[in-house]
Amino acid sequence: MTVQRDDLASSTDDAALEVWIDQDLCTGDGICAQYAPEVFELDIDGLAYVKSADDELLQDKGATTPVPLPLLAEVVDSAKECPGDCIHVRRVSDRVEVYGPDAE
Ligand code: SF4
């Protein structure tokens, strides 16, 4: 499935979320890539990375990508079930983590 233009537009409002992965803690099991392959992908190094809306793997440390609203449930489930506790979902507006190990 590809990310639609409407999903990108939604990332500009106050409720917009973004997600990043701490590869130092990633176990490489691939749960996230199974749940939301449009957002997460395993690289040949065996670790998971987020992808840009145009499907490019983002490998800079702490790189974020917008969470497309139609995939919010899949991304949140990935963060909840990530065995490495290393998927962080935060608000774009104030960078507060809302799902993941640092969420309140
Ligand atoms: S679910 Fe977590 S530990 Fe597993 S591959 Fe994805 S980021 Fe890594």
Residue labelled with tokens 């290393």: 86
> In the numeric block, which tokens belong to residue 12?
């500009």
Question: β-pairing, 40-42 with 48-51?
Answer: antiparallel
Q: Whose CA is nearest to atom 1 of ligand 1?
A: 82
Q: Which residues contact 4 (CB under 8 A, 6 or more apart)?
A: 68, 70
Q: Ligand 1: residues within 6 Å at CB?
A: 21, 26-32, 40, 48, 78, 82-84, 86-87
- Max CA separation in the chain (angstroms): 35
Nearest CA to ligand 1 atom 6: 32
CATH number at 5-99: 3.30.70.20
- pLDDT in single tens digits along all 104 residues of the chain: 544 545 444 445 678 999 999 999 999 999 999 999 999 999 999 999 999 999 999 999 999 999 999 999 999 999 999 999 999 999 999 999 999 999 98
Delimit the domains of the chain by residue range: 5-99
Q: Please state the pTM of the whole predicted model.
A: 0.88
- Residue whose CA is at the smallest distance from ligand 1 atom 8: 26
